[in-house]
């Protein structure tokens, strides 16, 4: 592909992605863990903008302050050498067995207190490194046995935890925004806040609702066979798309974390189109990092790791170019017009019209020309054909 | 089964359920449509509390006022004779071809105006019949071709429509509460507001958010392989469970609308437990109608229709009894205690504790006994075994 | 797109595809049924090779011989005028309510006898029109209530029916090959022979197993989230790919019947690559019709119908070109070599090697260099990147 | 529950089930591995009949002969002390990184040779311990990148391997029968032989087809949302149900390996009914071990491990009792009669009837009473209600 990624493209990677040692539920690690310093350098060379991390990615679980500081020092040096930034940080509340029954919503209150402390500790580091966004993925918050959990109290505790953390960020002047990451299942049988929608609904009841949004992940929504582009559109509409995790997934199965676009390529196209160009009728566009949360295939050695990292960025850039060409194509514009896409931006009621006026408008109901409406074609087949021609580069 | 349904159980049925003529995408109707008057009488005999309807269930699409009034008169007479009530009403914005590209979010603005009028017309009837809840299922609001719809404008129009309708209800003194019914797909490839979560998130931005909640359907959530009990728990937590549709579904496939419990029986048990007994730690309990939105199998004649209608109610009553026995069982109480279920109702912070105090509590982090926490067992296997013993009646 | 379909490309369409009046489970027809004569002419103009049909597509259910002959005459005239052929024919055993509980496996034996007769009648026509393949889609063969069906006897009856039909074809000199079309569900809750695999396994026990193969449909396998390319590869390996239905689907949901490639585009690429180029190591290639079994979107008028018909063919041709360029690309060849793809064609045992010799080969086990094997990379990330570059036309 | 498991019930467990240390893709082990000797004793106490194992469950990967013999000796002693038998053995071709790209179908031929040797080595032990069945689960045989695998050659190699192993068993006089275990995905993106059907279809081409059958697992079929009872019915019909893995799963998501029945309880009932009582019309019944392949929840300590092991057996026994009561219930028998379930065992053609006679039978087609057929009810709603009453113990 011709386009080279640059920091202006705002591509970021989790340290845990390229660093994944490729252990899976049925197999041992196939690669050594990549040292974070190597990852930072290599990603910088390839044109990335930044990196992100869980506490345990930078310093081992249980590190005391001195050990932690040493690891952080090495990490900062790599950042300084490369110019990579850290726009987002998160906490690992899932690997250690202490979290086997949950972190912020564990039945065991002491586990919850420990979890809160673990998050606060890494928020300090996030602020120190200049992060703007703090992600919370509650992978262990959920159930396999519904009768063993008070589902209402769990949400109370979840809210208590997030409001406490938000208050902490405010009081300390960290200025962090929080982004909840939904996932329907795995590792738990059913995870709380399973989709983009459930997470945003939950946020609406928080005291610090303004500081909290979401970090949707392509594959997590597709694990429920939901349309990811629709999901982020609703999040944008609600002002809650605080961060985004891009990757690939082949429908409802285990979490594949494929390279972005290597699952549903057509939907990846509409995702990039929305992120880069906004809705056809205008409105807010996402301008945060394009964050890849993927896993290099377990069959690959270190060369395949970097190959796949690059593939994420290159595919995104290709889709961006194609989406811009699609929007600019006069035939597409004509087809959008024929499909009356822009008409949806016109309010249903006239400017200043009351429902009484609508009720009085016989052309709206009593005299409405149903025949015309039911026989008209919308020309969506043509639009889809044009979109695919642009995607495949055959126009 | 021993328990007989009575109106106190608040069982309601849509007229379109028992009345379904059993036409499916690959087959013609196998039964004549049941006359609504017969349905009302038969359901009353079996112990139902009420019926619900779309406008087109009571009077054919396109009926003028005189024709409509005649049909309504017959319907009211049946209600009066039987004592059945109409706690919920809804609108059909999906059958007629005019809605092929959407109703309240159609690209064609005239379709949206027509749809609004159709809803308002049936709200008048709903109020007249004393309904408290008005359901909106937007089965045609969605896409197959993402590029052919402004996903942001669609939500604007959806919100405009619902706020207009809510205002109409308020101004007219109808006192209706609105309940959005989420569904992920079918008939559209991807429907807007696909889950309980997406619908509640959407509501949070409405001007009349207080008047709008949801009407979740068992099978619709299970079509995304989501846990229905978790979904309604979140809705209860947010004060948004305004109505409920109970039925059965075998996971992600076409919308089966089986009899309640004839899909995931174990989850039906936790659903009834939550609805009837509330969360273990207390809190609000749903007290609205138990509404069945199911379809009698296409293989059945009219006897099978009534057989299946009864099966919904009887299974619900059985699960209710079993859930009460489960909660009352001393061994279950001991197991819940061992699993620390009640402990989740205790806030994570002590009464009045600040995060500074938590940070200063060395027992919470620095001196925390990780070994105890990671090796403790939660006893969930035992709880599940007990729940299943109650469900199967083998205790 | 630049390439024009021609009859040499062997594209065929079911009359029921472009002719679909767009009635769905929640909505009435949005288009008039297209007359079969118009469909034949239009498809011929666009470059199709042939058409296929159910009996009820050409003459209404219940037609007597005279009426049937008239319809067939009109149809033949259109074929003669256009030169389109009829390589495949099938029977409708699902629309009429008589089949509500099954056709060839109905509990009611009289229904089974009627179904057999209906198939034989249309086999006569198939032979008359020169068809080589007779498809059987058993959409009504299945259950919603497992206890209401003898699952073993059902397979006995299914086998009895197909062997009877095969014998009939042989004795009459029709020379037909039969192709079973698997589908997991819809319209039945669970359909018998739900996947490519189940159908071929079933065939292995038939008396006329040689005459029976399968007609897999892209979307039907994807409704179970199975890899369609893998499925047809196994069918090819077993010599059972007698016919193919190409279309699009977005994972486990209702049967969408989208245009080919408008679901999982990446998998459509590997499907075309396999069909057109065969396995990398050689072996049999499918040379039958490329049959599209899709439904034009319900939002479209007749223009959209033809637009979408063309889209199927054009996309297939684009993928064919791209797959050939992929195979011919020297860098791809090098990557395939590095990934050791061809090595899989080498038997695991040496020519003439016995397992005793393998047991004696210490290099195979005792002295095997595990370290090299576990650390080697397979370069699949690179191959995928190259494939996607070819697909997107960015090389 | 009242019924106690006994060895006559033929319950068996994999050593890897109760022994699972509860490591998952996002979390470290929460329990120490249970020593196999403890597992054997504990399972015997609870009434199990036998245990099964992968080589690596009994002696660590890479053990030399002396080490292996020591481990085997300890294992045999435990068997001798308890009387437990080993009816099935299998090989681990998935945990070690050497198998990251496959075992018997790896592109790397040396890996395939190593895999064959590893299987043969454990077949020796299987024979020594008196096993009758050898299971092969090819969890690593598959792809994430279709272009990186010759899908046809892969099946050639798979067949070569299994025929070689079957020959080895025959020549050595081991008398083993082989059972392939299908799974659609996880750990690979798409696994070869993804369902019961695909595996049996594959077997039909083997030279030693008679020696090879399948080992279906409840959850594996349900991961594709397929009906497990239907799947095993087809396997029984084809004489290929050589072994069975019982567990629980909540539809298409990661492999949950829940306790049997703790997923789809209703389907578990029809599974047990078929296994224990056979088809209503008679025919072969499965008489092999009832093998549980499940994982105790990660939240549990060792008490929960044994609790869950017992739950598998107790639930099976409860379902067995209920299925027998269901079959014996006169009202059920009457309902089965009304549903014409037994009629499906009557051939569609009369004894000795040719298709010519069927063609001549005007009552079968020309004079067939369609009205009666299309209006008749099958009474399936009643049968389902009765089944559920038996299941819930409310009759």
CA B266 to chain centre: 18
C234, pLDDT greater than 50: yes
Residues 6+ apart with CB under 8 A from D316: D9, D11, D246, D260, D261, D272, D290
Residue A344 structure tokens: 């949806």
Task: Classify the phi-psi angles of B376: left when phi > 0, otherwise alpha if psi is within -120 to 50, otherwise beta.
Answer: beta
A363, pLDDT greater than 90: yes
The residues of D that are catalytic are 54, 57
Instruction: Characterize the bridge pairing of strands A142-143 and A177-181.
Output: unpaired
Task: Classify the phi-psi angles of B145: left when phi > 0, otherwise alpha if psi is within -120 to 50, otherwise beta.
Answer: beta
Question: What is the rounded CA–CA span in Å between residue C380 and residue D144?
Answer: 9
Whole-number pLDDT of residue A284: 87
Mutation for C interface: B14, B21, B23, B24, most C CBs within 10 A: B24
Residue C375 structure tokens: 């650390």
Question: What residues in D contact C100, CB-CB < 8 Å?
Answer: 374
3-state secondary structure of C201: helix
CB-based contact D113 C358, cutoff 8 Å: yes
Residue among D348, D344, D326, D345 nearest D335 (CA): D326
Nearest to D100 among A251, A258, A298 (CB): A298
Question: What is the rounded CA–CA span in Å between residue A176 and residue A167?
Answer: 10
CA–CA distances in Å: residue B288 to residues B181, B248, B256 = 15, 20, 24
CA–CA distances in Å: residue A108 to residues A154, A160, B377, B387, D301 = 11, 15, 11, 22, 15
Q: How many CB atoms lie within 10 A of CB B83?
A: 10
**Using one digit for the tens of pLDDT, what is the confidence trace for D259-315?**
999 999 999 999 999 999 999 999 888 999 999 999 999 999 999 999 999 999 999
Question: What is the rounded CA–CA span in Å between residue C286 and residue C283?
Answer: 10
Q: How confident is the model at residue A2 (pLDDT cuts 50, 70, 90)?
A: low
Question: What is the rounded CA–CA span in Å between residue B23 and residue B29?
Answer: 4
**Using one digit for the tens of pLDDT, what is the confidence trace for A201-226?**
999 999 999 999 999 999 999 999 99
Question: What residues in A contact B222, CB-CB < 8 Å?
Answer: none
- Residue for token digits 């890996």? D111
Question: What is the rounded CA–CA span in Å between residue D16 and residue D31?
Answer: 13
Q: What is the DSSP letter of B250?
A: -
**φ, ψ of residue D297 in degrees (nearest 5):** -55, 150
**Using one digit for the tens of pLDDT, what is the confidence trace for C300-326?**
999 999 999 999 999 999 999 999 999
Whole-number pLDDT of residue C355: 96
CB-based contact B96 C29, cutoff 8 Å: no
Question: What is the rounded CA–CA span in Å between residue D179 and residue D211?
Answer: 9
Which residue would you say has higher pLDDT here, A3 or C388?
C388
Whole-number pLDDT of residue B121: 98
Whole-number pLDDT of residue A283: 85
Q: How many CB atoms lie within 10 A of CB D124?
A: 12
Residues 6+ apart with CB under 8 A from A231: A195, A196, A197, A216, A221, B198
Minimal CA separation from C174 to chain A, in Å: 39
Nearest to B374 among D30, D222, D225 (CB): D30
C3, pLDDT greater than 90: no
- Residue for token digits 């809190």? B283
Minimal CA separation from A122 to chain B, in Å: 13
Residue B90, exposed/middle/buried by CB under 10 A (0-12, 13-18, 19+)?
buried
CA–CA distances in Å: residue B283 to residues A153, B227, B237, B280, C201 = 9, 20, 9, 9, 54
CA A33 to chain centre: 24
Minimal CA separation from B100 to chain C, in Å: 6
Question: What is the rounded CA–CA span in Å between residue A17 and residue A34?
Answer: 10
Q: How confident is the model at residue B2 (pLDDT cuts 50, 70, 90)?
A: low
CB-based contact B307 D382, cutoff 8 Å: yes
Question: What residues in C contact A304, CB-CB < 8 Å?
Answer: 377-382
Whole-number pLDDT of residue D2: 56
Question: What is the rounded CA–CA span in Å between residue A183 and residue A192?
Answer: 8
DSSP string, A49-117: -EEEEEHHHHS-TT--HHHHHHHHHHHHHHHHHH--B--EEE---SSSGGGTT-STT-SSHHHHHHHHH
CB-based contact D273 C152, cutoff 8 Å: no
Whole-number pLDDT of residue C1: 46
**φ, ψ of residue B149 in degrees (nearest 5):** -145, 135
Cα-only R_g, chain D: 23
Mean pLDDT of the A328-337 span: 98
CB-based contact A301 C259, cutoff 8 Å: no
Question: What is the rounded CA–CA span in Å between residue C101 and residue C108?
Answer: 8
**Using one digit for the tens of pLDDT, what is the confidence trace for D96-118?**
999 999 999 999 999 999 999 99
Residue among C113, C226, C134, C127 nearest C181 (CA): C134
Nearest to D392 among B299, B310, B391 (CB): B391
Mutation for A interface: D22, D28, D106, most A CBs within 10 A: D28
Residue among A283, A287, A289, A276 nearest A317 (CA): A276
Q: How many CB atoms lie within 10 A of CB D372?
A: 11
Mean pLDDT of the A192-201 span: 98
Mean pLDDT of the D183-192 span: 98
CB-based contact D265 B388, cutoff 8 Å: yes
Question: What is the rounded CA–CA span in Å between residue A120 and residue A135?
Answer: 12
CB-based contact B117 A359, cutoff 8 Å: yes
Residues 6+ apart with CB under 8 A from A77: A37
Q: Is the dihedral of CA C120, C122, C127, C128 positive or negative?
A: positive
Question: What is the rounded CA–CA span in Å between residue C105 and residue C107?
Answer: 6
Mean pLDDT of the A176-183 span: 98
A153, pLDDT greater than 80: yes
Given A9, A54, A220, A293, the catalytic residue: A54
Given C57, C257, C264, C293, the catalytic residue: C57
Instruction: Characterize the bridge pairing of strands A245-246 and A290-292.
Output: parallel
Give the CA dihedral A204, A210, A214, A215, nearest 10 degrees: -170
CB-based contact B254 C94, cutoff 8 Å: no
Give the percent of chain D with pLDDT over 90: 98
Mean pLDDT of the B87-110 span: 98
Question: What is the rounded CA–CA span in Å between residue A287 and residue A289?
Answer: 7
Nearest to B394 among D297, D303, D393 (CB): D393
Give the percent of chain B with pLDDT over 90: 98
DSSP string, D241-269: B---EE-B--SSSS---BPTTSS-HHHHH
Residue among A135, A373, A128 nearest A244 (CA): A135
Minimal CA separation from D221 to chain C, in Å: 10
Residue of D nearest to A296 (CA): D144
Whole-number pLDDT of residue A1: 46
Minimal CA separation from C309 to chain A, in Å: 9
CA–CA distances in Å: residue D141 to residues C372, C378, D144, D149, D156 = 20, 15, 11, 10, 13
Nearest to C97 among B28, B140, B255 (CB): B28
Residue among B131, B123, B130, B115 nearest B168 (CA): B123
**Using one digit for the tens of pLDDT, what is the confidence trace for B37-88?**
999 999 999 999 999 999 999 999 999 999 999 999 999 999 999 999 999 9
3-state secondary structure of C65: helix
CA–CA distances in Å: residue B136 to residues B10, B158, B169, B207, C70 = 21, 11, 14, 17, 49
| Crossing angle for the helix pair B302-328 and B36-46, to the nearest 10 degrees | 40
| Pair B189, C256: CB distance under 8 Å | yes
Mean pLDDT of the B313-321 span: 98
Could you give the strand order of the β-sheet that contains C50-54, starting from the edge strand earlier in sequence? C212-214, C177-181, C133-137, C88-90, C50-54, C11-14, C290-292, C245-246
CB-based contact D29 A97, cutoff 8 Å: yes
Q: Is the dihedral of CA C152, C154, C155, C159 positive or negative?
A: positive
Residue of B nearest to A146 (CA): B270
| Residues β-bridged to residue C143 | C190
Residues 6+ apart with CB under 8 A from C271: C218, C228, C229, C232, C246
**Burial profile C220-232: b = 16 or more Cβ within 10 angstroms, e = fewer:** bbbbbbbbbbbbb
CB-based contact A394 C1, cutoff 8 Å: yes
Residues 6+ apart with CB under 8 A from B355: A116, A120, A164, A167, A168, B349
Whole-number pLDDT of residue D25: 97
Nearest to C368 among D104, D114, D342 (CB): D114
3-state secondary structure of D108: coil
DSSP string, B121-182: HHHHHHHHTT--EEEEE-TT-EESSGGGS-HHHHHHHHHHHHHHHHHHHHHHT---EEEEE-
Angle at C225 between CA B220 and CA A225, to 5 degrees: 40
**Using one digit for the tens of pLDDT, what is the confidence trace for D204-256?**
999 999 999 999 999 999 999 999 999 999 999 999 999 999 999 999 999 99
ipTM score: 0.97
């Amino acid at each position: 592909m011709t386009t080279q990624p640059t920091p202006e493209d705002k591509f970021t990677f989790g340290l845990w992605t390229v660093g994944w040692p490729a252990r899976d539920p049925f197999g041992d690690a196939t690669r050594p863990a990549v040292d974070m310093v190597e990852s930072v350098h290599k990603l910088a060379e390839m044109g990335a903008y930044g990196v992100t991390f869980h506490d345990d990615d930078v310093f081992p679980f249980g590190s005391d302050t001195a050990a932690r500081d040493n690891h952080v020092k090495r990490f900062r040096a790599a950042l300084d050498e490369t110019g990579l930034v850290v726009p987002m940080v998160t906490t690992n509340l899932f690997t250690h067995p202490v979290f086997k029954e949950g972190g912020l919503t564990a039945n065991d209150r002491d586990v919850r207190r420990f979890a809160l402390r673990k998050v606060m500790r890494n928020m300090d580091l996030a602020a120190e490194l200049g992060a703007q966004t703090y992600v919370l993925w509650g992978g262990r918050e959920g159930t396999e046995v519904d009768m063993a959990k008070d589902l209402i109290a769990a949400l109370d505790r979840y809210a208590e935890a997030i409001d406490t953390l938000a208050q902490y960020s405010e009081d300390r002047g960290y200025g962090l925004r929080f982004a909840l990451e939904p996932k329907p299942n795995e590792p738990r049988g059913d995870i709380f806040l399973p989709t983009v929608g459930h997470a945003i609904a939950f946020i609406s009841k928080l005291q610090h609702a303004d500081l909290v949004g979401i970090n949707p992940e392509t594959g997590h929504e597709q694990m429920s066979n939901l349309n990811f582009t629709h999901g982020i559109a609703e999040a944008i509409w609600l002002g809650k798309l605080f961060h985004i995790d891009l990757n690939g997934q082949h429908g409802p199965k285990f979490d594949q974390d494929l390279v972005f676009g290597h699952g549903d390529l057509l939907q990846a196209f509409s995702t990039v189109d929305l992120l880069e160009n906004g809705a056809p009728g205008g409105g807010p566009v996402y301008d945060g990092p394009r964050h890849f949360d993927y896993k290099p295939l377990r069959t690959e050695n270190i060369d395949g790791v970097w190959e796949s990292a690059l593939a994420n960025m290159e595919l995104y850039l290709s889709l961006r170019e194609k989406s811009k060409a699609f929007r600019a194509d006069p035939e597409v514009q004509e087809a959008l017009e024929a499909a009356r896409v822009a008409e949806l931006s016109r309010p249903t009621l006239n400017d200043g019209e009351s429902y009484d006026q609508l009720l009085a408008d016989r052309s709206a109901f009593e005299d409405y020309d149903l025949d015309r409406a039911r026989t008209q074609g919308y020309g969506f087949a043509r639009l889809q054909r044009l979109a695919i021609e642009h995607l495949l580069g055959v126009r």
